[in-house]
A and B are shown apart, each in its own frame.
Chain A
Amino acid sequence: MKFMLMMNTPAGGEYQIMSWPKQDIEAHLAFMMDFHKKLTASGELVDGQGLSAPSQAKLVRAGKDGKPITDGVFPESKEFLAGFWVVDVPSAARAYEIAAQASLAPGVGGVPLYLPIEVREIGVAPKT
């Protein structure tokens, strides 16, 4: 079973890594690196990516002519996807376990952030 684990962070919320002390940023990055390595070593990681900053995000929809209309300004309160992992695991319970580990990523002063991780099973597509 494949699951996508999404790390959503509200703009202006507690996950403002840019304003943290250097030591805490380093600890956070080391945690994420280690998490990635462990998931790779256990053979469960399919993919894991961090996304670039929300300030670079664009909202796109097609106009009447089918051409893209881009919208780049978002309200402050909007939640953003900061990164995701795709894991291949035997059960949903295991996916939740992995999500809980990610949730413990350290923040300021090394205190766990208890980040909310959205866990969604990936629909099985027909073979092409």
Chain B
Amino acid sequence: MTAGKLDVSTEHLLRELAPQVLGAVMRRYRNLNSCEDAVQEALIAAATQWPDEGVPHNPRGWLLQVALRRMTDTVRSEIARRNREAVAMEDSPLVVAPALYSEPEIDPDDTLVLLFMCCHPSLSPPSAIALTLRAVGGLTTGEIAKAFLVPEATMAQRISRAKQSVKTSDVAFQMPEASERAERLGSVLHVLYLIFNEGYTSSSGTELQRTDLSSEAIRLTRLLVKLAPGDGEVLGLLALMLLTDARRLARSGPNGELIPLDEQDRGLWDREMIAEGVALVTAAFSRGAVGEYQLQAAIAALHDEAARVEDTDWAQIQALYGVLMRMSDNPMAAMNHAIAAAMAHGPTRGLELLTPLEKDERLRGNHRLDAVRAHLLERAGERDRAVELYQAAATKTSSIPERNYLMLKAAKLRDDR
């Protein structure tokens, strides 16, 4: 796309309209691959024509018409290509050219159905992530490749394979049944959460934060809030992202080094984001049923609302992690529960709670448990053991900023000896 000529607001408009148009085209033609091509062409046409001709009166209708016209052409040539007596294309039941010049309708639910489709549980997380960013986020393959630090050809292939799995697994382009909806929404939330985390704590590489992915995840979650306004967990996830992202500036030093929560300059935290996140989590809790994202958001809010680290309400945080532990058998929740207990009742209590986790297979090879134990041992004055575990954690993590942080913690304790 020759986006260079577009002003920022038009670019934002196109990004916002892309999934709506794709959803509307999908509802008629079903074939993700050709529908997506058609929408891409419409976006390119907009990017080249709008700067000169001005943004049309009804930009969404304009894009939809161009995309539908393109689809009609595709379908016609496809039919011509195939033998006439062959059965009409199985993945596009409506081969009749749509009435192009009537006002094309857009159903906001189409975008939601598109999200459900891209985040279908039959897709592997990397496929679902790539497909969501492409089809719903409207990012180019090159942009997605850059965000994940892989060659563009690799990402193009990943996206095309994802589309292929959608096609072969017969994922229908329709709203899931009510009985299935919560589970499917859960997959969507999980994918959005993974996109956010990939941006926030890159699992590899030297840059601690790839902010573009985080802001894209927040944008998509905001979109989902509009599409599924009644869902507390959607609000919870948006709140969690905002309350976490609010600390972004304080989270790393000038050379990308990691700064832990208790050493951050809280003056750098984004108060506006925190206020929005707190309001969201409060609204979410008022809806009754409480889910994991809401609980995590509530915990993040307690951290964000403490003016100084010593003002943190650890007892409340410990209680919330306790609820999370009862809700899901997640060792990470148990670990965080132990940290909160250590902060509220001293490191010995925390270390006691961590003991059973040492046998947890799911944490084998994970650096977090060693790092947490090292912190607590350091606080308990057991320096030698702390150094050992900081080093063990440093050799296990694949995040370079995290490795450097842990290595330096160990070195400092050795130096002070």
Chain B: minimal CB distance from A92 (Å): 25
- Residue B395 is within 8 A (CB to CB) of chain A in the complex: yes
A25 with B396: in contact, given A33-B255, A36-B206, A50-B206 (CB under 8 Å)? no
Interface segment, B35-43, B267-275, B405-413?
B405-413
Prevailing SS type, chain A contact patch: helix
Q: Contact check, B407 vs A17: say whether CB atoms are below 8 A apart.
A: yes
**B396/A53 in contact, CB under 8 A:** yes
Q: List 18 A-B contacts (CB under 8 A).
A: A18-B395, A20-B411, A21-B411, A21-B414, A22-B412, A25-B407, A26-B408, A29-B255, A29-B404, A33-B255, A33-B256, A49-B205, A52-B395, A52-B396, A52-B403, A55-B395, A56-B365, A56-B395
| B397: Cβ under 8 A from any A Cβ | yes
For residue B411, which residues in chain A have a CB less than 8 angstroms away from its CB? Answer: 20-22, 25
Mask: chain A, 57-94; 1 = CB below 8 Å from B; 0 = not: 00000000000000000000000000000000000000
From A37, which residue of chain B is reached at the shortest CB distance?
B255
Query: Could you say which of A25, A52, A53 contacts B408, with CB atoms under 8 Å apart?
Result: A25
Q: Render A97-110 as a binary contact track against B, CB cut-off 8 A, 1 for contact.
A: 00000000000000
Q: Please measure, in the bound complex, the distance between the C-alpha atom of A20 and the C-alpha atom of B408, giving whole angstroms.
A: 9
Interface size class of A (residues with CB under 8 A): 10 to 19
- How large, as a class, is the contact surface on chain B? 20 to 34
Please state if B255 and A53 are interface contacts (CB–CB under 8 Å).
no
- Residue of chain A at shortest CB distance from B398: A52
Interface string of B385-417 (1 = CB under 8 A from A): 000000100111110100110011011101100
Chain B proximity of A128: nearest CB distance (Å): 8
A52 to B396 Cα, complex, angstroms: 7
Chain A hits for B412, CB < 8 A:
22
Q: How far is the CA of A21 from the CA of B404 in the complex (A)?
A: 13
Residues of A with C-beta under 8 A to B255: 29-30, 33
Distance, CA A98 to CA B411, complexed state (A): 30
Taking the nearest CB of chain A, how far is it from the CB of B150, in angstroms? 11
Q: How far is the CA of A15 from the CA of B43 in the complex (A)?
A: 53
Contact with A along B365-400 (1 / 0, CB 8 A): 100000000000000000000000001001111101
Which B residue sits closest to A26, measured CB to CB? B408
